[in-house]
Structure 1
Amino acid sequence: MNSPAVSEDYARERAAARAALVRLRKMPPDDPEYGGLREWVIGEYMSYARYIAGRFRQRGEAQSDLEQVAYLGLVKAVDNFDPDFGAAFLTYATPMIAGEVRRHFRDTTWDVHVPRRVQENALAVRAAERELNQELGYAPSAAQIAERLELSADEVAEAYEASAAHHTASLDVPVAMSDGDGASLGELIGDEDPGFELVVDREALKPLLAELSTRDKKILLMRFFRNMSQTQIGEELGVSQMQVSRLLSQILGRLHEQVEAGH
């Protein structure tokens, strides 16, 4: 508990800061004392800005980054505060500082572009999830979160999916291997396998090959499975190399047309 002397000192500091705010607002910006007085007032309330930033520390951002954003909100509050409206400075500054931090999360910490509405829902869903967890003593269902926020089930599901886009992993992140050797995440991600296309083509050709004549099947067998030259095929069939070339072109052309047509 704070001692009476500490409480009195704190009250005097706050009173001095409020008086300085009133004086600052009545002072023209080109006054020689304006810059120094403004800097002093901001410094007096920086501890409060750090306190606001600390309320968001469980969201994965570095505390120092959040404090810088909170200071920006504080500066805006000092520059725009009007004591003539009758509101206390902290009453005015608190939503402005917190709003600046929330905008930071909404606009600058998403690694993948997500529509603003979905970003806001994602933040609200996470906050509601924490609140309901504390109230209920167990993890809330999507339906309970939807009811709390007056969202549809689809909107809650969309918010959860969007949360996955909040931070992405770098492909250069080192990953521990079972044998102790190091490797990056990018090295462990599979590449497109050209063999898949071969499988698809082979399956598409099977029924078409079955419909070919015995001679056409024999020509394809000799050319593509026995790797025989067109001259060797011609000798086998008793025709010229030119005729073999023409026959191969006709067979392959028909097969290509049938595959393209989805035969």
Structure 2
Amino acid sequence: MPEISVDVHIGRSVTEVYDFLSDARNLELWFSGVDTVAESSEPAGPGVAHVYRFPGRHRDQRLQCVAYVPGEHLVFRGDRMWNALGAQTPVYSFTLSPRPRGTLLRLTVQCRLAGALTLFAPVVAMAWRRDLPRDVRRLGERLGAPHCHVISAPRRVRLPISAFTPASSPTTVSPAIAPPAPPRPQLRPEPRPEPRLEPRPEPRLEPRPEPRLEPRSEPRLEPRPEPRPDPHPEPRPASVPAAKERAPRPAA
């Protein structure tokens, strides 16, 4: 449900600006949300309905005044419009407050979407952000104050009243413009003390004692005892005589 608002300063009194806005027939002269409005002899007030056409539509719709506070607040609501993608219900809100050199006007547009049209809410909001600054400048030209000053760019806001109330119970509300909120004090974060790092003592390295090498003793060689003669020697065997040579055998 897009809600777009814009603030403008107009160099006219509150009475002049409100009288011009309360006549729904003047909407077609400057407002892009209204194409045509049929003539009506009914005076402005809560519950009064007008026949109008929304831009791009060929059927007549009803535009009803749902809030009316003379010199302060005014709200118009259109009928629900259906198409192949869903439905939309437009609401136009005007809030006025006096200023030393003119009037501060807040114009708010709200579109209630249904069906697949809810997917196109960003596109609808973008179109109103583009058109609202042009509309308030044309309003200033119609009121004879061409040098009106747009104070704030279009932004998303909340309507001051619930504009989708039943038509049988019109609502009267107080002005919606509230004094600006005081700036919030900025709190500086207190600096945190940095942790103090104690120097760690370096480990003391004790010198390792060098190993003591003792001289190796050379092996001592004992003299081998000489063999003693045997007192009872065994007799040696006699030598075997060599075999006699055989004489050759005579042939037969």
Q: Same fold (TM over 0.5)?
A: no
More strand by share: 2
Larger-gyration structure (1/2): 2
Instruction: Give the TM-score taking structure 2 as reference length.
Output: 0.21
